[in-house]
Amino acid sequence: MSDSFLKAADDVKRLKERPNNEDLSALYGLYKQATAGDVNIDRPGLLDFAGRAKWDAWNTKKGLSKDEAMASYISFVEEMKVKHGI
């Protein structure tokens, strides 16, 4: 993990305002792709709404390399810092 990625992961926890669900899903998907690569678990069951949403967010990033996902995550966190403050 790069230092800038770890800093971005820490910064996102300190935003003054909570991002909307769409932005949170994008952040989650990029983070998982950067740290674990392509989705490697089965999609959760129908009644696990949060688990399915997280899986779907991660699966949309399928095919991105870990480095591409890290760079996108860092860039997106910078946008969130401007939008929501830190």
Longest dimension (CA), the chain: 37
CATH number for position 79? 1.20.80.10
Task: Read off the pLDDT of residues 61-78 as tens digits, 9 standing for 90 and up.
Answer: 999 999 999 999 999 999
* 1: confidence class by pLDDT, cuts 50, 70, 90: confident
Q: Which domain holds residue 52?
A: 3-84
Task: Read off the pLDDT of residues 39-50 as tens digits, 9 standing for 90 and up.
Answer: 999 999 999 999
Contacts of 42 (CB under 8 A, 6+ apart): none
Q: Is the pLDDT of residue 15 over 90?
A: yes
**Phi, psi of 41, deg, nearest 5:** -130, 160
CB 26 within 8 A of CB 57: yes
d(CA 86, CA 63): 31
Q: What's the average model confidence in pLDDT over 11-28?
A: 96
CB 60 within 8 A of CB 69: no
Count of structural domains, the chain: 1
